[in-house]
Structure 1
Amino acid sequence: MKKTFSILSIFTLLIFSNLIIYSCGSREDTVSCFPNNPINVTLNLNLPAYYPLNNINGWIYVNEQQSGTRGLIVVRTGTGFKVYDRNAPHICPDNNTTLEVKDNISVLCPKDNTRWILTTGQPESGSKTSLPPKTYPYNYDAAGKTLNIYY
């Protein structure tokens, strides 16, 4: 009975230590070195620069003040919007980790060619990570066509 108890104790200890190790390595849905900047951007979709967001699958880059360290990607989906940070979520920022939209269907990390589906943020098959791009909440006033993005 003592042998069974000690094996069970060691097994339980190993499980909890693995949970602690793996949970400390990330912050929310990104790597621990992901920049944490305030986001506060208001877009008037009546302006020509933002016209693509009036159509489903339309997207734009936002590089205004208070749009993070590298800006945002905003895409119109069938149910609203997706707002992605342009920092790659799975590797620490450097010169070649700014996310880009490719072929109007994917978000690409140029450093390692990891891709996500533009309208959902889901990793494409064969992706080097299961982390999606970091997203931000928003409010949309359809009557005034005003999109407010914040964090």
Structure 2
Amino acid sequence: MKYVPLFTFLLLFIACGKDNAERNPFLQETNFRFELNLNLPLYNGLNTIGNPVYVGNNGVGLRGVFVMKTSVDTYFAFEASCPNHIPNSCSTMTLDGQNVTCSCEDFEYSLFTGQLLNRPDDGERYFDLLFYRAVQSGNTVTISN
């Protein structure tokens, strides 16, 4: 019975660990909150699954955000700056159907998953799209980080 506190302490000590999640070194953290009114013609396309919209308003992400409805009640929002290099003149990606393309290296990313679709097999570390929180409440989708 006298070993129970020691055992509990050891269990907690072993269970606590450092977060090994690696942040993208190319994209800075930015805090923002932006609301999309789905009744407005500009964002009306978001009422359909698989129809992405680019939101390039000042202060929304680093270079804007791509938003897409991915299921009946789920929206995904991703940073519009290519995640595999420092933002520059060619790093703002362009829409290509339900994917986005970075013109710097022709990297292609899925807006359904955020994954790099044509990942080079050269042993280097490549990042997927930077994900932002997107929550629907009525006819409003709030995007934030």
1:71 aligned partner? 64
User: For 1:53-100, what per-residue CA distance to the aligned partner results, in whole angstroms no more than 9, with x for missing partners?
Assistant: 000001111122320221111011125111010111111111101111
Q: Which has the higher helix share?
A: 1
Which among 127, 132, 150 is matched to residue 128 of structure 2? 132
Which among 45, 52, 60 is matched to residue 52 of structure 1? 45
Q: CA deviation at 1:130?
A: 4.2
The amino acid that maps onto 1:61 is Y
Contact 1:52 1:59 in 2 (8 A): yes
The alignment status of 1:96 with 2:90, answered yes or no, reads yes
The amino acid that maps onto 2:80 is R
User: In structure 2, what is the Cα distance between the partners aligned to 1:65 and 1:117?
Assistant: 24
1:9 aligned partner? none
Q: Residues 59 and 96 from structure 1, CA distance in 2 versus in 1: closer, same or farther, beyond 3 angstroms?
A: same
Instruction: Give the TM-score normalised by structure 2.
Output: 0.75
User: In structure 2, what is the Cα distance between the partners aligned to 1:99 and 1:51?
Assistant: 22
Contact 2:54 2:64 in 1 (8 A): yes
Q: CA deviation at 1:27?
A: 5.0
The amino acid that maps onto 1:136 is Y
Q: Residues 36 and 123 from structure 1, CA distance in 2 versus in 1: closer, same or farther, beyond 3 angstroms?
A: same
| C-alpha RMSD of the superposition | 1.9
Contact 2:26 2:84 in 1 (8 A): no
User: Aligned residue pairs: how many?
Assistant: 121
Moved more, 40-49 or 126-135: 126-135
In the alignment, structure 2 segments of 5+ residues that lack a partner are 1-19
Q: CA deviation at 1:116?
A: 1.2
State percent identity of aligned pairs.
25
Contact 1:44 1:146 in 2 (8 A): yes
The amino acid that maps onto 2:107 is T
Instruction: Give the TM-score normalised by structure 1.
Output: 0.72
In the alignment, structure 1 segments of 5+ residues that lack a partner are 1-22
